[in-house]
Amino acid sequence: MNQIATFAGGCFWCLEAVFQRLKGVESVVSGYMGGHVDHPNYRQVCNGDTGHAEVVQIHFDPALISYDTLLEVFFTIHDPTTLNQQGNDVGTQYRSAIFFHSSQQQAVALNTAEVIADHWTSPIVTQIVPATDFWPAENYHQNYFQQNSGQTYCALVVAPKISKALTRFASIMHD
């Protein structure tokens, strides 16, 4: 039976492009979570007034890929030590967060964050919080890299994250 994982780690285009390539991931939907406005749109979230983070919701088969592995990929492809920022993307919508869907996910996330803390010189600022309502992003945000790989942001920011993941996780990624 498939499970759901929800992560925020900067721009959802970056996360989506990597997680879509993992064996055992059935689907990845870009969206918004963690805010106080129903049905937020991209402009509202970017203004920083809704409290939402840009997230990816990952539907995965735990028989093929573990939640632990998803977390390992997550902590590899973004900087969990920068508060409300990933590179030039700045604001609470770009915060690092793990939205857990069960007490088991919470325990694994807390343990993983503790273990990886030794690999960083600055403290981990990733929030580990219960999942709330998920609001899918507008259609043009879905499969963004696949449809816009030649776009400057995709070439300069998304593609290097994919390359980094391919280098580290080649055995669990699709070609």
**Catalytic residue (one of 11, 14, 46, 154):** 11
Q: Which residues contact residue 45 at a Cβ distance below 8 angstroms, ignoring those fewer than 6 apart?
A: 32, 35, 52, 54, 93
Rg over alpha carbons for the chain, rounded to the nearest Å, is: 15
Check if 11 is active-site: yes
Residues forming the active site: 11
